Amino acid sequence: MQPNYDLLRSIIATLPDNEQALILTAAALKTGIIIGGTRNKPLGKSLLCQTLHALGVDAIEAWELEEGMPSTKHITQKRNVAYAAINLHVPLGERK
């Protein structure tokens, strides 16, 4: 069964087209994604992370790395991992 990317598309709809394409490609390839941005400011980081998890993507918020809580999926599988990074500065849903 093919994952449904409609929710992800709706969440990232206000980002520039090239950034949407990068996120969708990373998600489709199941590339790990680090989501950063201003802490303690509602930008949609957690929503984006949860949506990516629902699609089977190893997504993590940057603060989790800062606090020493990285994903251990790659460690238990004994493999190297590359992550794509997203840095939010305005709330998802707002165009700036």
Phi–psi pair at 78, nearest 5 degrees:
50, 60
In whole angstroms, what is the distance from residue 55 CA to residue 63 CA? 21
Provide the domain count of the chain: 1
Whole-number pLDDT of residue 40? 85
Whole-number pLDDT of residue 59? 86
37 lies in some domain: yes
93 lies in some domain: no
28 lies in some domain: yes
Phi–psi pair at 2, nearest 5 degrees:
-80, 130
pTM for the full model? 0.75
- pLDDT category at 19 given cuts 50, 70, 90 is confident
| Domain around 79 | 6-88
Return the percentage of the chain with pLDDT > 90, whole number.
7
